[in-house]
């Protein structure tokens, strides 16, 4: 289970994010404990109000718990992981919230703790929490028999193309696949030993080397979106400058975008727009299936919750009827019958809870499996259209290079090449 965490403020923003249904197909508030309020937003307000009595700015500790792909993880595993986290990090007894999200056929959880100790009005320190969480994550993989990622066994084997949220959103705005963009730039870096070679390798793949606003090197897409080279290849700016030279010698992002527009975009922009339109039409039917599936799944869960609630109320009334009152109740206490009945009721209530949880887990697991099947179709379609777009970008760069080298006239027709000269004798 991958654990990612941060100390943060912004209780209202975090609460709204956790309850967001636009990005998540299912949102379930599983636990709100240690607060006077029993709802998520109310608990967030309490955490913020308590922090005002201290000097602590980052009064929340937020952890995302992401199980391996394809694993059906029970609620108890998430709860145990949260218990271990708060035990190791010194958050035992602190108010916490747990929210489950489901998206694209996968289920993960978010746990949020208030760092403020109400007794001392100080914030709980969290030294080396990333290292501790990494150790906890390894233990979870071993305890549950999950296949451990290569990066956990050897940090040198981590995928260098893993991208941040900002990089992902930036690439989405450009209509490209973020991982492919990052891999492309890293590939060009590996095969080039100087600036001109790197610029040529980028252009062959539909990207253009330019000077960024902060005087760094960036790669500009055909739509004018800039990607920082140093960030994409995980190198320092000094290392990038040492190999590529002074970025001041390059065009600015604005000039590069203008240059692209003058030489490339007019000829290929309609093809790129057409490819995007085709991709949107192709994905529309799958998105409609996804929306319909979401409605069906929510209806099934609501029906199960209603049936379980009715059964739970009926069983609770039956257990309450066993406890006699008045003189009979007093006699039961004297004879010990009351304590036997109470123990029986507690055991039945416990097993009823486990039964209900198991039923809901089976339903959610079946729905996730169905949703994952649809998501695989969506993923294949997205990959195919992403490759098509990248191919169009490479074609645009190839056309530009041919125009620059004089292989085409300005109207786009290929020039007649002179006949090759025969060998000259006497040399």
**For 311-336, how does the pLDDT look when each residue is reduced to its tens digit (9 = 90+)?**
999 999 999 988 888 988 899 888 89
Q: What is the pLDDT at residue 408? A: 38
Q: Read off the pLDDT band of 266 (50, 70, 90).
A: low
∠ CA 226-232-234 to the nearest 5 degrees? Answer: 145
Q: What is the pLDDT at residue 426? A: 37
Q: Which of 65, 63, 58 is nearest to 115 (CA)?
A: 58
∠ CA 209-215-219 to the nearest 5 degrees? Answer: 20
Q: What is the pLDDT at residue 20? A: 87
Q: What is the pLDDT at residue 263? A: 66
**Element of type H or E holding 114:** strand 106-114
Q: What is the pLDDT at residue 391? A: 74
Given a cut of 50, whether residue 424 has pLDDT beyond it is: no
For range 246-254, the mean pLDDT: 86
Segment of 120-134, 135-149, 252-266, 370-384 carrying the highest mean pLDDT: 120-134
> Between these two residues, 370 and 159, which has the higher pLDDT value?
370
Q: What is the pLDDT at residue 412? A: 38
DSSP string, 39-102: SHHHHHHHHHHHHTTSS-S--EEEEEEEPPTT----HHHHHHHHHHHHHHTT-TT--EEEEEEE
Q: What is the pLDDT at residue 416? A: 46
pTM: 0.57
pLDDT tens for 172-225 read: 566 666 777 888 899 899 988 899 999 988 888 878 899 887 768 999 886 678
Range with the poorest average pLDDT among 163-172, 274-283, 366-375? 163-172
Percentage of the chain beyond pLDDT 70 is: 82
Q: What is the pLDDT at residue 420? A: 42
Q: What is the pLDDT at residue 397? A: 66
Given a cut of 90, whether residue 145 has pLDDT beyond it is: no
Given a cut of 70, whether residue 150 has pLDDT beyond it is: no
User: What average pLDDT does the chain have?
Assistant: 82
**SS3 for 120?**
coil
**Element of type H or E holding 26:** strand 26-33
């Amino acid at each position: 289970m991958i654990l990612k965490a941060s100390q943060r403020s912004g209780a209202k923003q975090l609460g709204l994010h956790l309850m967001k249904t636009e990005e998540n197909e299912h949102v379930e508030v599983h636990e709100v404990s240690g607060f006077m309020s029993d709802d998520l937003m109310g608990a967030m307000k309490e955490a913020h109000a308590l922090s005002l009595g201290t000097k602590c700015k980052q009064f929340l500790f937020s952890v995302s718990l992401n199980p391996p792909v394809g694993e059906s993880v029970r609620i108890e595993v998430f709860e145990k992981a949260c218990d271990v986290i708060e035990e190791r990090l010194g958050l035992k007894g602190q108010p916490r919230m747990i929210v489950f999200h489901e998206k694209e056929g996968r289920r993960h959880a978010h746990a949020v703790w208030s760092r403020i100790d109400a007794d001392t009005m100080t914030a709980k320190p969290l030294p080396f929490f990333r290292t501790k969480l990494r150790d906890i994550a390894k233990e979870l993989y071993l305890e549950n028999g999950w296949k451990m990622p290569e990066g956990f066994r050897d940090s040198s084997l981590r995928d260098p193309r893993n991208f941040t949220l900002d990089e992902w959103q930036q690439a989405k705005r450009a209509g490209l696949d973020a991982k492919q963009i990052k891999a492309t730039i890293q590939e060009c870096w590996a095969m080039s030993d100087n600036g001109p070679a790197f610029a040529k390798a980028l252009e062959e793949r539909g990207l253009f080397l330019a000077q960024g606003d902060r005087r760094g090197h960036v790669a500009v897409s055909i739509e004018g979106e800039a990607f920082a080279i140093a960030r994409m290849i995980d190198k320092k700016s000094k290392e990038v400058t040492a190999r590529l030279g002074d970025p001041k010698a390059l065009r600015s992002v604005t000039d590069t975008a203008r240059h692209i527009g003058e030489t490339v975009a007019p000829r290929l922009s309609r093809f790129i727009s057409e490819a995007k339109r085709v991709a949107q039409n192709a994905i529309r039917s799958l998105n409609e299936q996804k929306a319909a599936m979401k409605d069906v799944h929510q209806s099934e869960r609501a029906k199960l919750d209603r049936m379980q609630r009715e059964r739970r109320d009926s069983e609770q009334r039956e257990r309450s009827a066993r406890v006699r009152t008045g003189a009979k109740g007093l006699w039961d206490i004297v004879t010990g019958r009351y304590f036997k009945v109470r123990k029986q009721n507690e055991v039945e209530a416990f097993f009823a809870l486990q039964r209900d949880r198991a039923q809901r887990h089976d339903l959610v697991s079946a729905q996730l499996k169905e949703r994952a099947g649809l998501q695989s179709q969506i993923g294949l379609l997205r990959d195919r259209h992403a490759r098509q777009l990248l191919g169009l970008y490479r074609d645009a760069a190839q056309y530009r290079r041919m125009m620059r080298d004089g292989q085409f006239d300005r109207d786009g027709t290929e020039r007649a090449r002179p006949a090759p000269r025969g060998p000259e004798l006497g040399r």
